[in-house]
Structure 1
């Protein structure tokens, strides 16, 4: 065979292999090393219908359905956490090493044991929440949390700062820097603290922590804070239906 033809065939084979998707099964609590292109757009196919991504790297990130498109010109390795939209307790951890290679497609899947655990916990939380009416369910969830208990099927995770609820009231400092998120099926609860920075007692008003998905706000054991006093703050949110939400806002000028 012609030597030039052999070289061309081998080059074609190497490019074909480089372009083939890389399939990875990710285990809970383990960081999966991956290599991505430093100069091109990479495609990460996740097992989540509406994934969220967290990274300190200054990467260009776009999410389309279950797929994440990522590009970065950074030369040093960085960590990426990928979570489902409705449960921060489960995160796929990737240690990304950027290289001068062709664009990559990474196809991620969960281990069978991990998927079974997620499905089981969601089902248990759903039964717990639907065992009573809406208001009673909210009361029972908050009642367990203020006692230091986790409601059935719920999962505790660290609160990411991008999910922090904005609260504002004169004289009070709200702190979610070491906050918690407790995730169920229909509800998610954010836990932070409030501190009285004045020299007189203050009464916290729940309306100062309202958001688009806020269903209830509670301070334990009561809403009055004495000078310098700090109390835990619980903000219960309705879990939004991300799959039903439109991904594109139509322009009013098209009507």
Structure 2
């Protein structure tokens, strides 16, 4: 079945900005439709906070050992960056704890030294939650970046992606990334070798190894840099990055590169489906 590679102009991505036309290029794409929460937090002391608070129960200790523990300040306000657009927080009933939501960020302060546990969700949507445990210490103000696990992020992102027609979703996601925003449920991850674009165009060099990788639901986006190493002006062409599984390609802030000029290149892929081996459920009558 013929699919399409979406080539989004920089003018479109700048705001979506001005509703310029979306160029559709036929292809034979066969693709299928601070601290962070991945480890213990490091505070002002630069050490991992993994020990149990004095006097905590063994049950609480087991729970903390199974979840990342984030150091926060008991003396100052702390900044909690979430992957949710409108985060809602449900915390233990610990005296002296206050929170305030500003965009995707929660500001949390406490005068208690007692560990605080709870869940953070998208406001009005309880289907995806991030479990958190905070350990207040007498340290400087802390910033904690929560990424959740891939299942949580994927579920929220997939609902967002499927809430609009496919072409609208692609434009919305790419425009948000150009502005430096994160679409609902999308998360910054380590650069993924499975989704490294293989862009080739005369006079241009491409670097995605030192770029960024944004993970959504049905889609993921690799972001790299194209540089004009020639002595002439070159127009970047989106098809120079095409391979199976790619949905859309764009460059920002420009596709017309002067000598030594650079531009960011955004390459959207279909998320690869896990490969599972199928077991035979019926024995052949003739063997084999």
TM-score, with structure 2 as normaliser: 0.45
29, 43, 52: which one pairs with 2:39?
29
Rate the CA distance shift 1:199–1:157 in 2: closer, same or farther, 3 A. Answer: same
- Aligned to 1:113, what secondary structure does the other structure show? strand
- Which residue in the other structure is 1:198 paired with? 230
Does the CA-based 8 Å contact 1:171-1:198 persist in structure 2? Answer: yes
Give 1:158 shift.
Answer: 2.4
1:212-223 mapped onto 2 (5 Å cutoff): 212-223=244-255
Give 1:131 shift.
Answer: 1.2
1:1-255 mapped onto 2 (5 Å cutoff): 28-30=38-40, 113=131, 117-161=149-193, 163-243=195-275
Give 1:222 shift.
Answer: 2.7
Q: C-alpha root-mean-square deviation of aligned residues, in Å?
A: 2.8
Does the CA-based 8 Å contact 2:195-2:269 persist in structure 1? Answer: no
Once superposed, which parts of structure 1, at least 4 consecutive aligned residues long, lie more than 3 Å away? 112-120, 160-163, 243-247
Aligned residues: 142
Stretches of structure 1 lacking an aligned partner (at least 5 in a row)? 1-26, 32-111, 248-254
Q: Deviations over 1:186-216 (max 9, x none)?
A: 0000000000011111001111101111000
Q: Distance in 1 between matches of 2:237 and 2:221?
A: 18
Rate the CA distance shift 1:171–1:186 in 2: closer, same or farther, 3 A. Answer: same
Give 1:165 shift.
Answer: 1.2
Between the two structures, name the one with larger relative contact order (CA 8 Å, sep ≥ 6): 2
Q: Which has the higher helix share?
A: 1
